[in-house]
Amino acid sequence: MASYHPNDTPQLVNALKYCSAFPALTLTIVEHDRHVHGQAFESFWLWIYFSLFNSAFSFYWDIEQDWDMPWIAAAVVAPPALPGALPGPVPL
């Protein structure tokens, strides 16, 4: 029987990456079926949302974790200093 360990978080988030594809794929199948039969697809914006979420999350995870290139997190945590900027807070 499998058990959860605190260091399993990356594997759980990686599984979430693959699970986030199911709503997008399901709505894609429904959209195609409706399109083929000439019917309106009422969930268009939901389909777009899930597709964009899955694409953005998969892109982030693949670059940041799977390829071990932490350039996104590094840019958010420590943005590059401006040329000529003072190091540290400016006293008033």
What is the full DSSP assignment across 19-84? HTHHHHHHHHHHHHHHHHTT---TTHHHHHHHHHHHHHHHHHHIIIIIS--THHHHHHHSPPPPTT
**Residue 69 predicted with pLDDT over 90:** no
The predicted pLDDT at position 13 comes to: 84
Best CA proximity match to 55, nearest among 76, 24, 32:
24
Higher local confidence (pLDDT), 30 or 2 = 30
The 10s digit of each residue's pLDDT in 30-60 is 999 999 999 999 999 999 999 999 999 999 8
> What's 89's DSSP letter?
P
The answer to whether the beta carbons of residues 21 and 54 sit under 8 Å apart is: yes
- Please count the other Cβ atoms lying within 10 Å of the Cβ belonging to residue 28: 14
Please, what is the average pLDDT of the chain?
Answer: 81
pTM over 0.75: no
**Residue 91 predicted with pLDDT over 60:** no
**Residue 85 predicted with pLDDT over 80:** no
